[in-house]
């Protein structure tokens, strides 16, 4: 008889999770959600101070709730081959299996000059050429290459976990609704995230024989270093949230629920999919493309 209790279906108890971008907003949310539900977590980030802050939060959660999971941290730059190889080597030194791999590290580079429909052709030329080669290259190295090579480098550990069934051997990549809408003058971010969407399908197909599952989460506006939601912040994105059906940013609980579904037995029948969690952002995110329309 099927056990339909949520604590059974969504359980990640005693599973091992590796989370890149673990010092950032989304990676931090996922790390906390997995830890409080009984998993051991290894968080990876480029910046030691961010790792230290999140580690302290995780340790406090563990001590208060008497959680069984272990907490590890690895500082490393996933935007370069040497850093990637070092991180993979450190993970393999402490893990025989990886039940859950979350690739949440990401950056967003915007054109230094924007264009508003109705401005001159020279303004359009200036805006289009204000994206540097370095910014486009960095965006693909962090947002795409790091997700590919971290997954590839840990494939044997993912496969060992997947062989045990019940949804183990789950790769959760992070894309974005920006991969799908036509907002203008953020092409480095949009292109690199659109590539992630296809990478998910490719890897899910390539790994199908061993049923190592690969899925993506495409978040809308969740509070993070990349998405400041405080209205007082000069780069606040709250103005976009106010136009959405939900009329608010996403919450930690909503991100946790999505990640737990994909990481657990609950999502064991899902691979090659992309879960959009955006409060209706995609319904309204079109962008004004012409002053004549």
Average of per-residue pLDDT across 177-202: 92
**pLDDT per residue as tens digits for the range 59-76:** 999 998 888 999 999 999
Range 192-204 burial, b when 16+ CB lie within 10 A, else e: bbbbbbebbeebb
Residue 293 has pLDDT above 60, yes or no: no
Residues 107-131: tens digit of each pLDDT: 999 999 989 889 999 999 999 999 9
Does residue 291 lie in a domain region? Answer: no
**Coil vs helix vs strand at 77:** coil
pLDDT tier, 241 (very low <50, low <70, confident <90, very high otherwise): confident
Would you say residue 179 lies in a domain? Answer: yes
Per-residue pLDDT, 240: 73
Report the Cα 204 to chain-centroid distance in Å: 17
Q: Which residue has the tokens 């969690």?
A: 277
The pLDDT-based confidence of 259 (bands split at 50, 70, 90) is: very high
Mean pLDDT of all residues belonging to the chain = 92
pLDDT of 148 reads: 98
pLDDT on residue 94 = 97
Higher-confidence position of 228 and 201: 201
Return d(Cα 105, Cα 25) in angstroms, integer: 10
pLDDT digits (tens, 9 = 90+) for 213-240: 999 999 998 877 766 656 666 665 667 7
CA 134 centroid distance within chain = 22
Query: Is residue 241 situated within a structural domain?
Result: yes
**Count of domains observed in the chain:** 1
Residue 108 inside a domain? The answer is yes
What CATH number corresponds to the domain at position 221?
A: 3.40.50.720
Q: Give the confidence band of 175 by pLDDT, cuts at 50, 70, 90.
A: very high
Structural domain span for residue 14: 6-284
What is the predicted pLDDT for the residue at 67? 87
Output 223 or 201, whichever has higher pLDDT: 201
* Beta bridge partner(s), residue 100: 17, 170
Residue 290 located in a structural domain: no
> What was the pLDDT predicted at 243?
81
- Res. 80 pLDDT band, cuts 50 70 90: very high
d(CA 154, CA 232): 41
The answer to whether position 292 is within a domain reads no
Tell me the Cα Rg of the chain.
Answer: 19
137: in domain: yes
pLDDT, average across residues 240-263:
91
When pLDDT is averaged across residues 145-150 and rounded to a whole number, the result is 98
For 66-70, 96-100, 101-105, 177-181, which range has the lowest pLDDT when averaged over its residues?
A: 177-181
Q: What are phi and psi of 135, to 5 degrees?
A: -70, -40
Say whether pLDDT at 152 is over 60: yes
Residue 1 inside a domain? The answer is no
């Amino acid at each position: 008889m099927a056990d339909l209790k949520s604590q059974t279906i969504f359980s990640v108890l005693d599973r091992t999770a590796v989370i890149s971008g673990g010092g950032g907003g989304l990676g931090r949310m996922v790390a906390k959600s997995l830890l409080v539900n009984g998993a051991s977590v290894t968080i990876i980030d480029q910046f030691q101070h961010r790792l230290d802050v999140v580690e302290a939060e995780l340790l406090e959660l563990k001590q208060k709730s008497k959680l069984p999971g272990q907490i590890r941290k690895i500082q490393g730059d996933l935007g370069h081959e040497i850093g990637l190889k070092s991180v993979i080597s450190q993970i393999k030194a402490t893990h025989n299996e990886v039940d859950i791999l979350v690739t949440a590290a990401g950056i967003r580079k915007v054109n230094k000059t924007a264009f508003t429909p109705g401005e001159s052709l020279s303004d359009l030329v200036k805006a289009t050429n204000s994206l540097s080669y370095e910014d486009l290259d960095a965006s693909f190295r962090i947002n795409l290459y790091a997700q590919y090579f971290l997954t590839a480098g840990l494939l044997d550990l993912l496969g060992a976990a997947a062989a045990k069934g019940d949804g183990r051997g789950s790769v959760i990549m992070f894309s974005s609704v920006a991969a799908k809408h036509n907002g203008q003058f953020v092409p480095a971010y949009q292109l690199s995230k659109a590539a992630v969407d296809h990478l998910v399908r490719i890897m899910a197909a390539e790994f199908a024989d061993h049923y190592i599952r690969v899925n993506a989460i495409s978040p809308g506006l969740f509070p993070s270093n990349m998405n400041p939601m405080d209205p007082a912040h000069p780069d606040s994105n709250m103005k976009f949230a106010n136009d959405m059906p939900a009329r608010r940013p996403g919450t930690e609980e909503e991100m946790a629920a999505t990640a737990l579904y994909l990481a657990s037995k609950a999502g064991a029948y899902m691979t090659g999919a992309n879960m959009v969690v955006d409060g209706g952002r995609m319904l309204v995110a079109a962008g004004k493309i012409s002053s004549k329309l």
